[in-house]
Chains A and B, each alone.
Chain A
Amino acid sequence: MDNLKTKHFTFQLKDLEISVELIEELARIDDSMPEYSRFLKEEIDSTLSLSQIEGGYTILPAQLDQNTIHIGDHCFNVGKSIANKFTNSTHIAIFTCTTGPLISDRLKELNSQGLILEAYLIDLLGSVMVEKAMDKLQAIIEAECTSKGVNITNRYSPGYMNWDVKEQKDLFAFLPENFCGIKLNESCLMTPVKSVSGFIGIGEKVRFIKHACQSCNSTNCLYRNSKNHC
């Protein structure tokens, strides 16, 4: 679908405002642990500063029913819980975002050196990077919508709640091939690994509902596992 109107953005790691303290908190590194803040700062300021962080989206008309979202010829079975959150959406922003391949390369390097704890922290940093970049992209989408007098919902991804991750294939059908350098394998795993995709609902009467851990069934989410999760 190369004729689709997509918008594409790049982000700098320094602009994502990721603090070392946040990574340490998510990793549950307390004061008794060895000093890793210097390592993380060096990685953020130098080693990973050239990460090719990019994201983009396309906005398309959509119809909703109880459990599904219809876009063009495709029917996304997102489940009742997510469909409810898109109530009153007339359009959907189909988005994707990635940290680029540098994180994966660095992970391989650290693991091969036996630096397992450092590799774990970089993996976590990658997860935070893609979420922070996604916050920026969501803000861009929101600004575009606000300027047109419409509102947005929160963002939701295949794999979340009852939305089958397999539908990621249909989602990527709405984006140009190799968009943002992201590829899907047969298992719907995105590469670069630290990538996300999903939907944001758009409409005059949509509501933005904050994420709440108690309404989510994910057991391996980095935010749920952090000390101060919601």
Chain B
Amino acid sequence: MEKLFEQLAYCIEFGKINKQSPYPPNMKDQEGAGELTGQLLDQGVSADDILQKALIVGMERVGVKFRENKVFVPQVLMSAKAMDAAMIQLKPHFANNPGSQKGTFIIGTVEGDLHDIGKNLVSMMVEGNGYEVIDLGTNVKAEVFIEAAEKNPKAVIGLSALLTTTMNNMEKITIAIKKHNKNTTVCVGGAPVNQEFCERIGADNYSPDPQGTVEFLNRTVA
């Protein structure tokens, strides 16, 4: 069983979706994340064990390699595709047992900003590490974040911005969220954001890369 977990983690790490997928070339014609997840389920392994012992392991390795500039966005997206092939099979099991995921993460690009690549990468990495992700999209107003947090009281909120001008909106939204419920945890990220800005606006965490957000969630939520 351990060997199968490791094979599946490897497929996630290197973005091997299924047997038909030609990527990566050194795994051509080998079974991918889709087939291996099916085999583990057939053998009676729980969806939670597959998630924890294989998928998260693989996704964490990708996150670390991305942080270290050993892989780039396309490789991370291939891993996300492999992850999707596995999660499609696991999601019906999680639906029957909603407590099996680590927690909920609400993410969105702040009002006034339409950029979404950074947000999407964080969203994929967080989901791939075992959290339910509620993606509110781009150009999201404070009240939409607050409404989502009300529906998911223990959720952590992630705010993304690419422009220096929308950092102002990030500050307004963080203040509004905290005013509504001071216990709501707010993470911030994006090219112009830094630790100093995070502290100044009263957010709880700044991460320069997706894996940093995952590590913060693992420390504080999981």
Contacts and interface: CB of A to CB of B under 8 A. Distances in A.
A binds B: yes
Interface of A: 27-29, 32-35, 111, 114, 116-117, 120-121, 123, 159, 164-166, 185-189, 191, 193, 219-220, 225
Contacts of B120: 116
Contact of A28 (B72, B84, B124, B164): B72
A29 B77 CA distance: 12
B93 interface: no
B72 A187 contact: no
A116 B25 contact: no
Interface stretch (B41-49, B56-64, B111-119, B180-188): B111-119
19 contacts: A27-B72, A28-B72, A29-B74, A34-B21, A34-B22, A111-B116, A114-B84, A117-B77, A117-B78, A117-B81, A123-B117, A165-B164, A166-B164, A185-B112, A187-B113, A187-B163, A187-B169, A189-B163, A225-B72
B144 interface: no
Interface of B: 21-26, 72-75, 77-78, 80-81, 84, 112-117, 120, 124, 162-166, 168-169, 191
Given A117-B77, A187-B113, A219-B191, 11 more contacts: A29-B74, A32-B25, A32-B26, A34-B23, A34-B78, A35-B22, A117-B78, A120-B74, A165-B163, A185-B112, A187-B166
B163 A220 contact: no
Dominant SS among interface residues on chain A: loop
Contact of B74 (A27, A188, A191): A27
A187 B191 contact: no
B167 to A, nearest CB: 9
Contact of A187 (B24, B26, B112): B112
Contacts of B191: 219-220
A117 B74 contact: yes
